[in-house]
Amino acid sequence: MKLFKFPAKVSISLIIGGLIVTFALFPDTFFPFLSLERCRIAQGEIWRLLTASFVHFGWAHTVMNLAAFAIFVFALVDAFSTRRFIALILFCCCAVGVGVYWFNPEYETYAGLSGAIHGFFIAGFFINKRHPLWVNGIFIAAILGKVFREHQTGYQATELQTLLPVAVAYDAHLYGAAAGFIYGLACLLIDKYVRKEIIH
């Protein structure tokens, strides 16, 4: 009897989802060890810059981010090679962690995948081949518009965001979006110019 075989990118996505659920099931064990705690990072626990993206503030936070991640995987993961997908996750998650650590001293503790997810979507739309570039550009502009709106004075959290037990770290969305923009643009330029030169 043969076991079901999933493409590597789907398997990686399932592993990530499984880890996030596991961390949520045992928050007292994993959250203190993996979340971004400023004082602990200053003491040398730099892994938290990456792992903070995979723990969350309660189940509402967890489910919202898992749903967004699932949409990304369903819609855009095929745009990436396995190596690029792994690199995207590491780059966006680390960029969010470093950004929050350096630029938001008011956050003593940070956790959540939403910042990186903004980057996943933007990078995915940059190299998505299912639609013309102008269509992908509209989606990128919409995400950037959302981030811009979140940073306007007087912006109110959405009804879903009000379910969270902590205030939404909108700057994390900005750092993730910036990381995704850089990553996606780099992939697009490499595919268009560098690989073209290698082929010729």
**What range does the domain containing 157 cover?**
8-199
Quote the number of domains for the chain: 1
Residue 2 lies in a domain: no
Residue 24 lies in a domain: yes
Reported as type and span, the H/E element at residue 109 is: strand 109-110
Residue 1 lies in a domain: no
Residue with tokens 């099931």: 25
> Which burial class, exposed, middle or buried, applies to 19 when counting CB atoms under 10 A from its CB (0-12, 13-18, 19+)?
middle
Torsion over CA: 63, 152, 125, 103 (sign): negative
> Which pLDDT value is given to residue 121?
98
> Which burial class, exposed, middle or buried, applies to 17 when counting CB atoms under 10 A from its CB (0-12, 13-18, 19+)?
middle
CA distance 115 to 75: 18
Residue 26 lies in a domain: yes
Residue 146 lies in a domain: yes
> Which pLDDT value is given to residue 163?
77
The pLDDT tens digits of the residues spanning 102-120 come to 999 999 999 999 999 999 9
CA triple 124-91-37, angle to 5 deg: 125
> Which pLDDT value is given to residue 161?
75
> Which pLDDT value is given to residue 196?
58
Residue 129 lies in a domain: yes
Residue 159 region, left (φ>0) first, then alpha (ψ -120 to 50), else beta? alpha
Reported as type and span, the H/E element at residue 70 is: helix 59-76
Scored b (16 or more CB within 10 A) or e, 102-125 reads: eebeebebbbbbbbbbbbbbbbbb
Contact between 23 and 55 (Cβ < 8 Å): yes
> Which pLDDT value is given to residue 27?
97
> For each of the chain's 200 residues, which pLDDT tens digit applies?
444 566 899 999 999 999 999 999 999 999 999 999 999 999 999 999 999 999 999 999 999 999 999 999 999 999 999 999 999 999 999 999 999 999 999 999 999 999 999 999 999 999 999 889 899 999 999 999 999 999 999 888 777 777 788 888 999 999 999 999 999 999 999 998 876 555 43
Predicted TM-score of the model (pTM): 0.93
> Which pLDDT value is given to residue 199?
45
> Which pLDDT value is given to residue 80?
96
The pLDDT tens digits of the residues spanning 44-62 come to 999 999 999 999 999 999 9
Residue 103 lies in a domain: yes
CATH number of the domain within which 92 lies: 1.20.1540.10
Residue 81 region, left (φ>0) first, then alpha (ψ -120 to 50), else beta? beta
